[in-house]
Structure 1
Amino acid sequence: MKTKPRAGVDYYPDGFQTPPPRPWPLWIQIGVFALTFTVLQSLWALASGTALERIAVDQATVAPAAWLVNQLTPEMQALAVRSSIRAPGGGINILNGCEGFEVLFLLTSALLVAPLSWRRKAVGFFAGVLLVWLLNQGRILVLFYANRVDKELFALLHGTVAPLVIIVLVTIAFVFFLSKSNNTQQSESESLVGKA
């Protein structure tokens, strides 16, 4: 609870009388991270074949990707057909696991154990959803065009390169967000102490 300073009462850098929450011990953070990721991944596996999967794969992933293909190369005449982008000369299938949720689950698990306020965690989550979706759309476009040109290149990009690139970029964004959040919290704390 924030109050005006009184003689003989300790105040913390954030201007509050109560000590700030301490981060969880590392072993608890690792356990919560692993458990959260496992639960999210298991729940998503249970959604296989359901309307939720159709919305996530067909409508939120395939349809926008087909639209982007047509914006970039209108002559392709790409069509979103359920979980496939079809076009004369070749297309691709987007299956459960190709929609980017695994990376989103990793990010969600990391945000849950991060030493951030719940408000900052929510901001990070929604920004992360957008980032993962954009990166995955880019990945699908690259895979679509690679599949039409060189099947071996497609296999390399699909199985190794693209997933690693997305994980690295999301990790960099997470670390950046975490450092900015800590700087913001520290600046707010210092300004509160200065006003006291």
Structure 2
Amino acid sequence: MTDEALSQAQPPRAPIWRVALVFLLALAALQGGWSALRGSAAERAVIDQATVGTAVALVNRLTPEVAAQAKGSRIQAAGGGINVLNGCEGTEVLFLLWAALLAAPLSWRWRLQGALLGALWVFALNQLRLLALFYSYRDDRPLFNLLHGLVAPGLLVAATLLFVAWVYRRHDASQRLAMPGGAGGLDAA
């Protein structure tokens, strides 16, 4: 199938202003909803249990001699620990990912798959970030400041954008394969 025929076979894309508007509205709604949960059992479950609990388990698995403990939103250990505040648990990056998937011209099946896989992706990346922050705080405070304020947030956002781009490309590839005459079609050359 030629590029011209392929472009004619695909449904028209939404104007960029509409994509941007959906993205901004979705991001605002997600952030607003999360802000409304401040101090709630849901916030404590995400921060104290899921985020801090998992990070402590990882620290103790990697370096059992540190004997880290979860104390609410704190990762405590002899020699220093860190406090995981609202915003440090990765929800802001997750909301960026979800808003981008909602705004992108994807099928609902791909949006849902991307949202679920993306949540795991962001959680794993944020756990790596917390480990880097925990160990750098204990051993190299200037490195901690650099990681906390600039490097880690930038890497988290960049990795999340790459994930969204990956989902988008996979979706487009699956659409081309599903088209008559696509690479998987019967009349493929």
TM-score above 0.5, yes or no: yes
**Cα offset, 1:22, TM superposition:** 3.1
Aligned to 1:194: 186
Q: Where does the alignment leave 5 or more consecutive residues of structure 1 unmatched?
A: 1-11, 14-18
Q: Where does the alignment leave 5 or more consecutive residues of structure 2 unmatched?
A: none
Relative contact order: is structure 1 or structure 2 higher (C-alpha 8 Å, sep ≥ 6)? Answer: 1
1:100-120 CA deviation, whole Å, 9 max, x = no partner? 011111111110011111001
- The counterpart of 2:46, out of the listed 56, 64, 69, is 56
Give, in whole Å, the separation in 1 of the partners of 2:19 and 2:76. Answer: 43
1:161-185 CA deviation, whole Å, 9 max, x = no partner? 0000011111112112211110011
- Quick one: percent identity of the two aligned structures? 45
SS at match of 1:85: strand
Q: Determine whether 1:44 maps to 2:34.
A: yes
* Counterpart amino acid of residue 183 in structure 1: A
Deviates more, 1:20-29 or 1:100-109: 20-29
Aligned to 1:172: 162
* Counterpart amino acid of residue 126 in structure 2: N
Give, in whole Å, the separation in 2 of the partners of 1:75 and 1:178. Answer: 44
* Counterpart amino acid of residue 25 in structure 2: L
SS at match of 1:178: helix
Give, in whole Å, the separation in 2 of the partners of 1:113 and 1:194. Answer: 33
Q: How does 1:41-190 map to 2 (within 5 A)?
A: 41-190=31-180
- Cα RMSD of the aligned pairs, angstroms, is 1.7
* Counterpart amino acid of residue 22 in structure 1: P
Give, in whole Å, the separation in 2 of the partners of 1:30 and 1:181. Answer: 20
Deviates more, 1:74-83 or 1:39-48: 39-48
How many residues of Structure 1 are paired with residues of Structure 2 in the alignment?
179
Relative to the length of structure 2, the TM-score reads: 0.89
Give, in whole Å, the separation in 2 of the partners of 1:194 and 1:115. Answer: 26
Larger radius of gyration: 1
Give, in whole Å, the separation in 2 of the partners of 1:157 and 1:169. Answer: 15
SS at match of 2:70: strand
